[in-house]
Structure 1
Amino acid sequence: MRAVVFERYGETAEVREVPDPAPAEHGVVVRVEATGLCRSDWHGWAGHDPDITLPHVPGHELAGVVEAVGPRVTGWRPGDRVTVPFVCACGDCPSCRAGDHQVCERQTQPGFTHWGSFAQFVALDHADVNLVAVPDDLSYATAAGLGCRFATAFRAVTQQGRVAAGEWVAVHGCGGVGLSAVMIAAASGARVVAVDVSSEALRLAREFGAVRTVDATAVPDPAAAVRDLTSGGAHLSLDALGSPVTCAASVESLRRRGRHVQVGLLPSPDGRTPVPLARAIALELELLGSHGMAAHTYPPMLELVRAGVLRPALLVTSTIGLDAVPSALAAMGTAPGAGVTVAEPWRC
C-alpha cells in the first residue's frame, strides 16, 4: 500500500510503498477512504509524543470500509462502512467497564501507538468495542472528522462542559476542534464568542454560529475582551488550540464559578504548563480535561447530524490527495489553517 512515512521527527515525510497491515485477532483492517489532518498528527511528527516508534505512519481521523476481520470479531464484516474514535479502548479494564473508554488504561491509538491512517489501509484494535457504523447518507470526508475533532468537541461542550442554553461560551482557537465546538455550542442554544488570530477562522466561526468574535492580534488582552463582551466572563471556555497562551486566556475569560475545558494538547519540555490557579481559587473555577469520546456514546451525536441540527460537512474546507499530505502536515506548526483538511489516500 501507499502511505505517508517519516523517519525522523520534524523532517519532511514522504509517500512510499509499505507492507499492507493484517488484522489482530480482535481487530480489523479498514480501507481508508478519507482521513483528516489534525494538529495532534503534527504534534506526533514534531516529536512531542514519546510513545511513537520510528519509522512511523501518522493519521488518526478516518472513515472507510472494513477490508478484513480477525477471527474473534463478531459484529463487523468486510464491506461495512465505519469510523472509529482516535482512542481504541480494550473494553475490559476498570475504566472501560465503567463506560469510560476514552481514558482506557490499555488504549491504542492509530497514528500514535501504531501506524495510522495516512495510508490506504489501517489496522484497528478491538473492533467490537470501537467501530462505529457510518450511515449511508454520510460522506466519508464528513465521517472522518467525527473520530477526533467533532466528537472531541461534542463531548467537551455537552458532557464535560455541561453547556446550557443562554450561557456564554468562549472558544479559543478556531481550527477543526474549535469550529466544531462553536457549531455544537450554538446548536445547544449558547451564545458563542470565538477567539483566533485568523480572519478566515473568525469568519467561519460567525458562519457556524458565533455571535461575537475576538481577533487576538488586534487587542492587548483577548481574555479581557471576552469578559467585556460577555458582561463579566464566559460561563464555559474551551482551549481548542493547545498552547500556554490560549490555555491561560481561556481560564482568564471565565466569570465566577465558570468552567474551563482543556481540549488542545499542551506539549512542553518538562510536561508542565503554567495555569492561572490563583484566579481558579478566587472565582471557584472548574478546570477540566476532555480526551475524545467513546464509541458507545456516538448515537446521540449521529442523530443530531442526520437531523441537520449539526452539520460537520461544513467544516471540511479542503480535500487533498496522499501526495500532498507531507507538506500539509509540516505546515500545521506555523499555519494551522481554518476548518478541516481531509486527505483521500486513493487519490494521488
Structure 2
Amino acid sequence: MRALVFSSFGGPLSVQEVPVPEPAPGGVVVRVAASGVCRSDWHAWQGHDPDVVLPHVPGHELAGTVAAVGEGVRRWRPGDRVTVPFVNACGRCPQCAAGEHQVCTRQTQPGFTHWGSLAEFVALDAADVNLVAVPEALDLATAAALGCRYATAFRAVAHVGRVRPGEWVAVHGCGGVGLSAVQIAAAAGARVVAVDVAPGALDLARELGAEHTVDGGGDVPAAVGELTGGGAHVSLDALGAPVTCANSVRSLRPRGRHVQVGLLPPEQGRAEVPMERVIALELQVLGSHGMAAHAYPELLGLIAAGRLDPHRLVTRELPLDDAPAALAQVGRQPGIAVVTSFSRVSPAG
C-alpha cells in the first residue's frame, strides 16, 4: 500500500510502498477513504510523542470502509462505512467499564502507538468498542474530521466545559479544533470570542459564529475581559502552548471554567498556570481528551438535524502525494485539510 512515512523525527516526509497491515484478534483493517492532516500528526513527526517508533506512518483522523475483520469481531463486516475516535479503548479496564473510554489506561492510537491512517489501509484495535457507523448521508471526508478535531471540540464544549446558552466562551487558537469549538459553542447559544494570530483564521471564525475576534499577539486577557464585560464563563485553549494556556485561564471571570484541549508537549515548554488566580476566583481547570465512540450518536444526531455542520471546516481535500507538504506546513492555512485520494497521481501528459 502507499503511505506517508518518516524515518527520523523532523526528517524527510515521503510517500512510500509499505506492507498492508493484518487485522489483530478483535480488530479490523479499514480501507481509508479520508484522513485529516492534524497538528497532533505534526507533534508525532517532531518526536513529541513517546509512543512513536521509527519508521512511522502518521494519521489518526479517518473514515473509510472495513476491508478485513479479525477473529472475534461481532458487529462489523467488510464494506461497512466507519470512523473511529483517535483513542482506541481496550473495553476491559476500569475506566472503560465506567464508560470513560477516552482515558482508557490500555488505549492504542493509530498514528501514534502503531502505524496510522495517512495510508491506503489502517489497522484498528477492539473494533466492537471503538468503531462508529457513518450514516450514508454523511460524506467520508467530513466523517474523517469527527475522529479528532470536531469530536474533541464537541466534548470539550458540551460535556467538559458544559457551555450554556448566553454564556461567553473564549476560544484560544483557531486551527481545526478551535474553529470546531467556535461553531459548536455558537450553535449551543453561547457568545463566542475567537483568538488567533492569523487574520484568515479569525475571518473563518467569524463566518462560523464568533461574535468577536481578538489578535492573539496583544494583551488577550484584557481584550477578552473588555469584550465580555468581566471575562469569559468558559475559556478553551484549543492550540496547546504555554502562552495560550495562561491567556485562557487569565481570560476567565470569577468561577469560570478553563478547558485544556490542545496538547502541551513538555518539549515546547511548561505552561505556567496562575494558581493564585485559580484559588482567588474559584476557577475550574479541566482537561479534555477526545470522545468515546459510544458518545457519537448525540453528535451525529445534531449533524443530521442540521444544527452542526462540520463540512464547513473542511477547507481542502488533497491527494496523498500532497500530504508531506501539508503536514510540514500544518496550521498555515485555516480550516481542516483532508487527504481523500490515495492512488498514485499520473504525471500530466
- Scaled to the shorter chain, the TM-score interval is over 0.9
Match of 1:152 in 2: 152
Contact 2:241 2:268 (8 Å CA) reproduced: no
Q: Which moved more, 1:322-331 or 1:124-133?
A: 322-331
Tell whether 2:325 aligns with 1:294. no
One-letter amino acid matched to 1:156: A
| AA in 1 matched with 2:340 | E
1:268 counterpart (256, 266, 269): 266
Hey, what does 1:238 align to over in structure 2?
A: 236
* Offset, 1:222: 1.1
Deviations 1:224-272 (A, max 9, x none): 1001000000000000001001000000100000000000001123974
Show the counterpart of 1:341: 337
CA RMSD of aligned residues (A): 1.0
Partner Cα distance (2:294, 2:39) in 1: 25
In structure 2, give the amino acid aligned to 1:300. E
Structure 2 match to 1:327: 325
Per the alignment, residue 134 of structure 1 pairs with 134
Pairs within 5 Å for 1:1-348: 1-217=1-217, 220-269=218-267, 272-332=270-330, 335-347=331-343, 348=345
- The answer on whether the counterparts of 2:246 and 2:271 sit within 8 Å (CA) in structure 1 is no
Query: Aligned-pair distance for 1:13?
Result: 1.0
Matched residues in 2 for 1:338 and 1:241: separation?
Answer: 13
What is the CA–CA distance in structure 2 between the aligned matches of 1:167 and 1:337, rounded to whole Å?
Answer: 29
Checking the alignment, whether the CA contact within 8 Å between 1:175 and 1:336 is kept in structure 2 is: no
Verify the 8 A CA contact 1:89 1:101 in the aligned structure 2. Answer: yes
Contact 1:12 1:330 in 2 (8 A): no
CA–CA distance in structure 2, aligned partners of residues 116 and 278 of structure 1: 41
Q: What's the secondary structure of 1:269's corresponding residue?
A: helix
The CA deviation string for residues 269-316 of structure 1, in whole angstroms up to 9 with x for no partner, is: 397421111111111100000000000010011000011100000000
Query: How many angstroms apart in 1 are the aligned matches of 2:110 and 2:206?
Result: 33
**2:28 partner amino acid:** V
Shift of 1:152: 0.3
Gaps of 5+ in 2: none
Stretches (4+) displaced over 6 A: none
CA contact (8 A) 2:243 2:271 kept: no
Give the drift of 1:14.
0.6
| Cα drift, residue 39 of structure 1 | 0.4
- CA displacement, residues 38-72 of structure 1 (integer Å, 9 cap, x when unaligned): 10000000010111100000000000000000120
Shift in Å at residue 336 of structure 1?
Answer: 4.0
State the secondary structure of the residue aligned to 2:267. coil
Deviates more, 1:335-344 or 1:179-188: 335-344
Q: Secondary structure at the match of 2:213?
A: strand
Mapped partners of 1:345, 1:22: distance in 2:
22
State the alpha-carbon separation in 2 of the partners of residues 28 and 13 from structure 1.
Answer: 27
1:124-146 per-residue CA deviation (whole Å, 9 max, x = no partner) reads 00000000000001011100000
The total of aligned residue pairs comes to 344
Measured against aligned partners, the alpha-carbon deviations of 1:317-341 in whole angstroms (never above 9, x if no partner) come to: 0111101111111112xx4431100
Inter-partner Cα distance in structure 1 for 2:274 and 2:329: 30
TM-score (norm 2): 0.97
2:23 counterpart SS class: coil
Shift of 1:215: 1.5
Q: CA deviation at 1:16?
A: 0.5
Shift of 1:200: 1.0
The whole-number CA distance in structure 2 between the counterparts of 1:303 and 1:140 is: 16
Contact 2:101 2:292 in 1 (8 A): yes
TM superposition shift of 1:216: 1.8
State the distance in 1 between where 2:66 and 2:116 align.
Answer: 15
Q: Distance in 2 between matches of 1:65 and 1:154?
A: 24
Alpha-carbon contact 2:191-2:211 (below 8 Å) kept: yes
Give the distance between the partners of 2:268 and 2:304, measured in 1 at CA: 43
Gaps of 5+ in 1: none
